[in-house]
């Protein structure tokens, strides 16, 4: 590391001013507001200390949301990262027409989540959807999909993965491109098989890219609420009621800004713990 | 240490920026010229502008700006602007049942000082009621609304179903509708044809009249702060069971979302639909051969139709409250209301126009006869949605309960759970 | 050996083709619907026949209408303009910050970096009200500035750049310093040219962020002249109807346009610093 008195601050200045004004300051406001509650009787904000947090702890809805959020993320994050890594490796192969395949596989990146949600809702409709139409004509039973508390969360995992894998693969593909091919050539001379190559060369050199994708993907999925908002309203029977959806509901439906802010503070603490673990696991050894 | 110092600096700079910038906005009352800004829904923006133009012509010192937002996001937008105490918005386009919510947060100005009682008499009884909260006037109604039963003539004929008549004295019962909808079989264009759907599938607006038809008189307590015993009354549970049967027992209603039901009727995949009178024009345009009839009631119960609609209120943070009130008074009565009705074609909120519709020969024929029927219903058997400061919570919980019921949840269980959530949320409005 | 190679190629083609189906099939409904008249959208949806996938009355009216009636020409321009300006400013501002974090040790570095990480965990929906107040007091509401300036500094992009810069050997900087190069020169003349792949991905991240941005443009602008695509698309969902064919037509265009852009950009992945061996 290099020490220099003023240089680092000058390089940081524009970003920190921007973040300070447009992210940090509003975020502090949100944090403080988690300690307040709007009194409809006096029409004022009243300081309530940790009351917003305590009332969440005693609310079964909160604990259900914690459970759903963790279940969702325990499945979706590893799934997306593994699939994105696989896709990146596939797209890194120098075969004819790879440019075409890359462009196709990256298409879902530009499908916005609301549009994807609307589209999948039509396709997966239990009575009139295309998927059930195909299933029944092949002799299978029609499925309730988003209308079943056993399936809805996994359907959302599927939709978010359809949309997300290409996106995360871009970052990993860029990382793969930086692995010097000389290393592979040397390994091939030593008679290493593909798997050893992957463990010895690809994976270690990809740790930084993987850390980025793991962290960014985790944050994105913990904050995901558009599919629940558009397709299920957190249902059926609260089976897709993630913390972020509860936050939005508290803020914009139930007029509990203080509770929404408290929920976010807790959600961020959960995210920090998880990405802390992820970065430990993916820490480069050198 | 330097890092901390730096952070502090950023904090101070941003605070200063905010403090100095704060007062520079809004306020335009100098020199007699006034600009009034309406936050409205995108579809209605053009008509609002056109009606406001009539006012501008008479009041050259007033300019009206209409800012439009997509329907689904208008409320969120207004919440942010009002929570930020932004004085740049003067007039708000507000859905009637959410008025108590706006009022309880102190977001809208009571208008009794600006609009006198004689004006209120011009509005229909139901809409005048909707804009009055605990005796105070909070908004001016722009529309009313009601529902009619549409049927596809060809599907009915093919299945040998005698169509209902457009006569309020020969109104069908729900039992009769279900029996007839069950007869709908076979396919058209190789596609499955369904019996019946509510246009606003699973939304409180269309579904609570089912309970009201069964005899429910109140859906929340009189002070609007308790839902237990009202929203999960035995009538509501019975209405929920009816919905459950439509979807899961009789299977005559497809499980599609509210934004698709009309398209199903338009493309000949649906025999009956209960929808807004405004749909008639769209169905005609789509080329459906359809007829209309009054909304059914439960045998042994009474006919009830929903009502309530959009209103204009004045923001508490507006610097031009008196001018704003004058403008909305103009827009919701007399010549303004007439022009608005001509442009939008929605069910009007003034008694005068409602009566005119029922007399006018133009409104004897389809598609306009739907408005005439709706005007009758609005004046004779309409019931408002409940008045509660927690209306948005109430509605979202009722919608959710009905969605769970559609997916097969026991109605009592679904409604009991929703009521528990609602009462939790209503707690904060109590003294 | 040869056999194995052929097999490998075959498997990778097969996988690619399966993936193409997974990606494209869900979009098929949206593609077909955009060429139908509005009342036909759900006409052939179930049970499936060939008519489900092939419009019987092909019409381009939805595409025409979104440009003539809904002003999508301007809307696409706005979204592109906002996206590209944000990318240009964002790449500079955030890579500079990442450079500081990667290369220097300075007081408060850990805490500042931690706060930078925190900024992208705070969802926009929660800070909407305070942010609206800030932006409104700066006088930005209803202008391009409102759409661009608040999102230029981006913690996630700083993090992305930092992950890349951390891999650059410090010896490069030390020897450049010995030669008397200024830090700005090192950043601008040495580090940035080495960073093409990460710059492309960072640019993509920023651009996609703006392309999909909805709630902030909705709150921060209200004039038609600043309307961007996601806000414009949501106006097709009206109170009593959804204009499906126009919604899908607009959505198809919002998908195709960036896909074409990617088609051109992806060659930079191959021509970046691959195989230059800078990595330690």
CATH of the domain at C177: 1.10.3720.10
* Strand-strand pairing, B91-95 and B310-314: antiparallel
pLDDT greater at residue C41 or residue B96: B96
Does an H or E element contain B236, and which? helix B234-244
Number of structural domains, chain B? Answer: 2
Separation of alpha carbons B167 and B19, rounded Å: 64
User: Nearest 5 degrees, angle CA B345-CA B347-CA B349?
Assistant: 120
Say if residue B318 is in the same domain as residue B301: no
B224 pLDDT exceeds 60? yes
| B172-182 tens-digit pLDDT | 999 999 999 99
Is the distance from CB of C40 to CB of C56 less than 8 angstroms? yes
The per-residue pLDDT for B225 is: 95
Structure tokens at B396: 């979202």
Say if residue B423 is in the same domain as residue B277: yes
List CB contacts (< 8 A) between C277 and chain A.
Answer: 180, 182
Say if residue B398 is in the same domain as residue B366: no
Residue positions counted in chain C: 280
Omega prior to C3 cis, within 30 of 0:
no
Separation of alpha carbons B312 and B52, rounded Å: 13
For residue C112, the enclosing domain spans 30-49+58-271
| B24-56 tens-digit pLDDT | 344 444 568 999 999 999 889 999 999 999 999
List CB contacts (< 8 A) between C100 and chain A.
Answer: 7-9, 11-12
Separation of alpha carbons C188 and A99, rounded Å: 31
Could you tell me the residue ranges of all domains in chain A?
66-281
List CB contacts (< 8 A) between B424 and chain A.
Answer: 59
Summarize the confidence of residues A179-192 as an average pLDDT.
82
Q: Could you give the 3-state DSSP secondary structure of residue B367?
A: coil
The band of B11, judged by pLDDT with boundaries at 50, 70 and 90, is: very low
List CB contacts (< 8 A) between A191 and chain C.
Answer: none
| A2-36 tens-digit pLDDT | 767 788 999 999 999 999 999 999 999 999 999 99
As a whole-number percent, the residues of chain B with pLDDT over 90 amount to: 84
The per-residue pLDDT for B1 is: 32
User: Nearest 5 degrees, angle CA A92-CA A93-CA A99?
Assistant: 75
Q: Could you please report the per-residue DSSP string of A197-265?
A: HIIIIIHHHTHHHHHHHHHHHHHHHHT--HHIIIIITT-STTTT--HHHHHHIIIIIS--HHHHHHHHH
**Subunit contact A208:C163, Cβ cutoff 8 A:** yes
Say if residue B58 is in the same domain as residue B185: no
- Is B14 within the bounds of a domain? no
B23 pLDDT exceeds 50? no
Local structure of residue B161 (DSSP, 8 states): P
Mean pLDDT, 10 residues at a time, over chain C (280 residues)?
78 92 92 90 83 87 92 94 96 96 91 94 90 93 95 96 89 87 90 87 93 92 92 89 92 87 69 44
Question: Residues 131-150, chain B: which have Cβ within 8 Å of C?
Answer: none
Would you state the torsion angle of the CA atoms of residues B86, B91, B96, B98, taken in this order, to the nearest 10 degrees? 0
- Is B349 within the bounds of a domain? yes
Summarize the confidence of residues A45-59 as an average pLDDT.
92
The per-residue pLDDT for A166 is: 93
- Is B45 within the bounds of a domain? yes
Is the distance from CB of B125 to CB of A60 less than 8 angstroms? no
Partner residue opposite B3 with nearest CB, options C49, C109, C139: C109
For residue B139, the enclosing domain spans 24-144+308-383
**Residue C8 C-alpha, separation from nearest chain B C-alpha, in angstroms:** 45
Say if residue B397 is in the same domain as residue B251: yes
Which of B14, A2, A12 lies closest to C116 in space, CA to CA? A12
As a whole-number percent, the residues of chain A with pLDDT over 90 amount to: 65
Separation of alpha carbons B246 and B196, rounded Å: 8
B18 pLDDT exceeds 90? no
Is the distance from CB of A54 to CB of A35 less than 8 angstroms? no
- Is B1 within the bounds of a domain? no
- Is B9 within the bounds of a domain? no
B366 pLDDT exceeds 80? yes
The band of B20, judged by pLDDT with boundaries at 50, 70 and 90, is: very low
Q: How far does chain A reach from its first CA to its final CA, in angstroms?
A: 15
Is the distance from CB of B321 to CB of B115 less than 8 angstroms? no
Q: Kindly report the CATH number that applies to the domain delimited by A66-281.
A: 1.10.3720.10
φ/ψ bin of B275: left (φ > 0), alpha (ψ from -120 to 50), beta (otherwise): beta
Say if residue B324 is in the same domain as residue B365: yes
Chains that touch A (3 or more CB pairs under 8 A): B, C
**Residue C120 C-alpha, separation from nearest chain A C-alpha, in angstroms:** 8
The per-residue pLDDT for B16 is: 41
- Is B10 within the bounds of a domain? no
Number of structural domains, chain C? Answer: 1
**Residue A90 C-alpha, separation from nearest chain B C-alpha, in angstroms:** 39
List CB contacts (< 8 A) between C158 and chain A.
Answer: 15
- Is B251 within the bounds of a domain? yes
> Taking the CB of residue C13, how many other CB atoms lie within 10 A of it?
16
Among chain B residues, the shortest Cα distance to A25 is held by: B11
The per-residue pLDDT for C35 is: 94
* B8 contact partners, CB below 8 Å, separation of at least 6: none
Please report, for the domain that includes residue B55, its CATH number. Answer: 3.40.190.10
Separation of alpha carbons C228 and C225, rounded Å: 9
B6 pLDDT exceeds 80? no
Partner residue opposite C152 with nearest CB, options A18, A25, A170: A18
**Average of per-residue pLDDT values in chain B:** 90
Say if residue B182 is in the same domain as residue B262: yes
The per-residue pLDDT for A286 is: 53
Q: How far does chain B reach from its first CA to its final CA, in angstroms?
A: 49
The per-residue pLDDT for C177 is: 87
A217 pLDDT exceeds 60? yes
- Is C257 within the bounds of a domain? yes
Structure tokens at B70: 């997509």
- Is C81 within the bounds of a domain? yes
């Amino acid at each position: 590391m290099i020490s220099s008195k003023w240089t680092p601050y000058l390089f940081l200045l524009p970003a920190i001013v921007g973040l300070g004004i447009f992210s940090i300051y509003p975020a502090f406001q949100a944090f403080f507001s988690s300690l307040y509650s709007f009194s409809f009787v006096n029409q004022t904000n009243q300081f309530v200390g940790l009351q917003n947090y305590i009332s969440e702890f005693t609310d079964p809805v909160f604990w259900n949301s914690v459970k759903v959020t963790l279940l969702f993320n325990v499945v979706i994050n590893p799934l997306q990262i593994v699939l994105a890594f696989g896709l990146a490796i596939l797209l890194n192969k120098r075969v004819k027409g790879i440019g075409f395949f890359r462009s196709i596989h990256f298409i879902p990146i530009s499908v916005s989540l609301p549009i994807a949600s609307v589209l999948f809702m039509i396709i997966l409709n239990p009575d009139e959807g295309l998927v059930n139409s195909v299933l029944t004509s092949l002799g299978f039973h029609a499925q309730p999909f988003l209308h079943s508390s056993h399936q809805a969360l996994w359907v959302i995992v599927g939709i978010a993965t359809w949309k997300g894998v290409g996106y995360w693969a871009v970052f990993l593909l860029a990382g793969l491109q930086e692995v010097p091919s000389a290393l592979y050539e040397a390994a091939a001379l030593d008679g290493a098989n593909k798997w050893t190559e992957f463990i010895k060369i690809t994976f270690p050199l990809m740790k930084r890219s993987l850390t980025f994708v793991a962290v960014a993907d985790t944050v994105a999925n913990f904050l995901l609420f558009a599919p629940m908002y558009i397709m299920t309203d957190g249902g059926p029977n609260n089976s897709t009621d993630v913390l972020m959806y509860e936050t939005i509901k508290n803020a914009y439906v139930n007029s509990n800004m203080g509770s929404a802010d408290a929920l976010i503070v807790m959600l961020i603490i959960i995210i920090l713990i998880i990405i802390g673990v992820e970065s430990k696991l993916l820490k480069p050894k050198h | 240490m330097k890092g901390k110092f730096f952070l502090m600096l950023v904090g101070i700079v941003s605070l200063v920026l905010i403090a100095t910038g704060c007062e520079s906005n809004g306020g335009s009352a100098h020199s007699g010229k006034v600009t009034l800004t309406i936050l409205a829904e995108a579809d209605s923006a053009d008509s609002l502008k056109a009606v406001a133009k009539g006012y501008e012509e008479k009041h050259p010192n007033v300019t009206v700006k209409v800012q439009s937002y997509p329907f689904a996001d208008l409320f969120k937008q207004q919440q942010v602007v009002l929570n930020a105490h932004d004085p740049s918005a003067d007039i708000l386009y507000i859905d009637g049942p959410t008025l108590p919510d706006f009022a309880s947060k102190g977001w809208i100005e009571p208008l009794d000082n600006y609009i006198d009682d004689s004006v209120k008499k011009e509005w229909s009884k139901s809409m005048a009621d909707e804009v009055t909260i605990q005796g105070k006037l909070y908004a001016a109604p722009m529309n009313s609304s009601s529902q009619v039963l549409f049927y596809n003539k060809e599907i009915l004929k093919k299945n040998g179903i005698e169509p209902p008549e457009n006569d309020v004295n020969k109104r069908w019962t729900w039992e009769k509708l279900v029996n007839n909808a069950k007869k709908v079989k076979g396919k058209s264009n190789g596609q499955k044809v369904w019996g019946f759907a509510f246009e606003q599938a699973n939304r409180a607006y269309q579904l609570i009249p089912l309970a009201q038809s069964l005899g429910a008189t109140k859906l929340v307590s009189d002070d609007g702060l308790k839902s237990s015993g009202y929203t999960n009354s035995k009538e509501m549970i019975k209405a929920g069971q009816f919905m459950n049967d439509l979807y899961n027992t009789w299977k005559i209603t497809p499980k599609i979302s509210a934004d698709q039901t009309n398209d199903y009727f338009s493309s000949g995949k649906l025999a009956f639909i209960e929808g807004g009178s405004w749909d008639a024009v769209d169905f005609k345009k789509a080329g459906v051969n359809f007829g209309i009839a009054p909304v059914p009631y439960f045998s042994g119960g009474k006919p009830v139709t929903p009502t309530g609609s959009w209103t204009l209120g004045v923001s508490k943070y507006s610097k031009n409250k008196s001018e704003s009130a004058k403008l909305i008074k103009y827009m919701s009565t007399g010549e303004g209301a007439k022009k608005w009705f001509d442009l939008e074609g929605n069910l009007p909120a003034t008694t005068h126009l409602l009566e005119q519709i029922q007399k006018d020969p133009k409104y004897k024929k389809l598609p306009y006869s739907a408005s005439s029927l709706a005007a009758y219903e609005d004046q004779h058997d309409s019931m408002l949605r409940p008045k509660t400061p927690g209306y948005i919570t109430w509605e979202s919980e009722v919608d959710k309960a009905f969605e769970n019921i559609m997916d097969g949840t026991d109605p009592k269980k679904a409604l009991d759970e929703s009521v528990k959530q609602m009462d939790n949320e209503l707690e904060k409005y109590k003294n | 050996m040869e056999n194995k190679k052929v097999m490998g190629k075959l498997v990778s083609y097969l996988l690619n083709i399966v993936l193409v189906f997974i990606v494209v099939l869900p979009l098929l409904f949206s593609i077909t619907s955009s060429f139908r008249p509005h009342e036909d959208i759900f006409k052939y949806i179930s049970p499936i026949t060939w008519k489900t996938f092939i419009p019987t009355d092909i019409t381009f009216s939805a595409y025409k209408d979104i440009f003539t009636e809904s002003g999508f020409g301007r809307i696409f321009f706005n979204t592109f303009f906002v996206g590209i300006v944000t990318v240009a400013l964002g790449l500079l501002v955030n890579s500079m910050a990442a450079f500081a974090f990667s290369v220097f040790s300075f007081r408060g570095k850990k805490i500042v970096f931690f706060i930078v990480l925190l900024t992208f965990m705070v969802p926009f929906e929660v800070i909407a009200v305070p942010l609206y107040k800030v932006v409104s007091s700066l006088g930005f509401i209803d202008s391009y500035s409102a759409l661009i300036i608040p999102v230029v500094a981006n913690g996630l992009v700083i993090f992305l750049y930092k992950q890349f810069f951390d891999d650059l050997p410090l010896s490069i900087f030390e020897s450049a310093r010995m030669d008397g190069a200024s830090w700005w020169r090192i950043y601008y003349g040495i580090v940035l040219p080495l960073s093409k792949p990460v710059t492309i991905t960072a640019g993509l991240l920023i651009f996609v962020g703006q392309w999909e941005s909805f709630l902030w443009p909705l709150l921060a602008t209200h004039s038609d002249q600043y309307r961007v695509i996601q806000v414009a698309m949501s106006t097709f969902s009206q109170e009593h109807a959804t204009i499906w064919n126009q919604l899908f037509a607009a959505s198809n265009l919002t998908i195709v346009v960036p896909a074409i852009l990617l088609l051109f950009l992806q060659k930079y992945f191959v021509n970046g610093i691959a195989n230059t061996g800078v990595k330690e």
